[in-house]
């Protein structure tokens, strides 16, 4: 009995794929660091409630995706550690309804945290609007009738939520405003996130196609999606002068280039055709996720260091 309960608890945790939460913490922190750089004092109570809303939304996506994409996950004969869902439901480790129930509870928690931030902590209308937008788009990503991931816009929507809205929420929770520097700080990360989303879709192509989950990799084919992957990496760095013109500090730009060797290696491996080889899928997905998170962390570190010079 005890082992069975522990097994179900472990399966429930794996169903939520907590490893993906790291990026949400880093990107939210980046937004707050930009606010501090612009002279705003960090209200740590607002910070905590905003983070709770973001993390609840992110977890909701993980549980709802596994619920709504069960057929695609069952049809996927080539899952990897980073794609194909958590594999908890296809293996029958938990009933399907558990994923939906968890997603609904987390949705309520995200809404409650947003209400506290807005009404009790006077967080303002901007973070409230951004949080509710992120929540609505996150639900619509895989849930019918929208199922955005099958309409050719899922990757752009996911990029928009994760690498643009999350930093903007972290920023606006402290300022109740949106300023150009907050956008410029998030912009290069958006291209890296887009590439990462393609990387995790390569292993799912066949299974997704069978059940009509029309991701970009399915729509374009793996070869064209690979070209798009490399193009996204190129744009992430080629457009740095534009973000600098908008106001991104030079030290932040140089720090982002610290991760360039990893980007070059990933682009080279994809150009060589690693996206076709199952033995390389985990490496490509892990490297792509690391590139996004590391870049955001390096950028946030620059802002923290700049703030520390002028407390």
pLDDT of residue 180 exceeding 80, the answer is yes
Total tally of structural domains belonging to the chain? 1
Q: Is pLDDT above 60 for 169? A: yes
Range of the domain at 175: 2-309
105: domain CATH number is 1.10.600
Summarised one tens digit per residue, pLDDT across range 251-279 is 999 999 999 999 999 999 999 999 999 99
Between CA 285 and CA 266 the distance in angstroms is 10
What's the pTM value of the predicted model, to 2 decimals?
A: 0.94
CA distance 40 to 120: 20
Q: Is 260 exposed, middle or buried (0-12, 13-18, 19+ CB in 10 A)?
A: middle
CA distance 277 to 279: 5
Span 12-36, pLDDT tens digits: 999 999 989 999 999 999 999 999 9
């Amino acid at each position: 009995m005890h082992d069975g309960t522990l097994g179900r608890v472990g399966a429930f945790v794996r169903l939520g794929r907590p490893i993906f939460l790291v990026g949400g913490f880093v990107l939210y922190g980046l937004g707050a660091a930009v606010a501090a750089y612009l002279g705003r004092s960090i209200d740590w109570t607002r910070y905590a409630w905003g983070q709770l809303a973001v993390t609840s939304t992110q977890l909701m996506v993980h549980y709802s995706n596994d619920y709504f994409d069960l057929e695609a996950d069952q049809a996927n004969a080539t899952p990897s550690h980073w794609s194909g869902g958590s594999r908890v439901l296809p293996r029958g480790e938990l009933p399907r309804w558990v994923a939906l129930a968890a997603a609904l509870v987390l949705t309520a928690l995200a809404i409650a945290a947003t209400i506290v931030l807005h009404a009790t902590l006077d967080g303002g209308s901007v973070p409230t609007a951004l949080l509710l937008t992120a929540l609505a788009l996150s639900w619509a990503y895989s849930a019918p009738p929208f199922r955005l991931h099958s309409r050719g816009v899922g990757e752009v929507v996911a990029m928009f939520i994760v690498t643009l809205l999350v930093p903007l929420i972290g920023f606006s929770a402290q300022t109740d405003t949106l300023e150009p520097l907050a956008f410029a700080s998030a912009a290069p990360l958006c291209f890296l996130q887009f590439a990462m989303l393609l990387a995790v879709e390569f292993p799912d192509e066949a299974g997704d196609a069978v059940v009509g989950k029309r991701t970009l990799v399915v729509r374009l084919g793996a070869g064209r999606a690979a070209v798009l992957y490399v193009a996204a990496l190129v744009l992430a760095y080629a457009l740095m002068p534009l973000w600098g013109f908008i106001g991104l500090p030079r030290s932040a730009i140089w720090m982002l280039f610290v991760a360039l060797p990893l980007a070059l290696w990933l682009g080279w491996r994809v150009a060589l055709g690693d996206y076709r080889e199952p033995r390389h899928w985990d490496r490509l997905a892990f490297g792509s996720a690391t590139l996004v998170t590391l870049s955001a962390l390096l950028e946030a570190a620059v802002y923290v260091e700049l703030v520390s010079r002028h407390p």
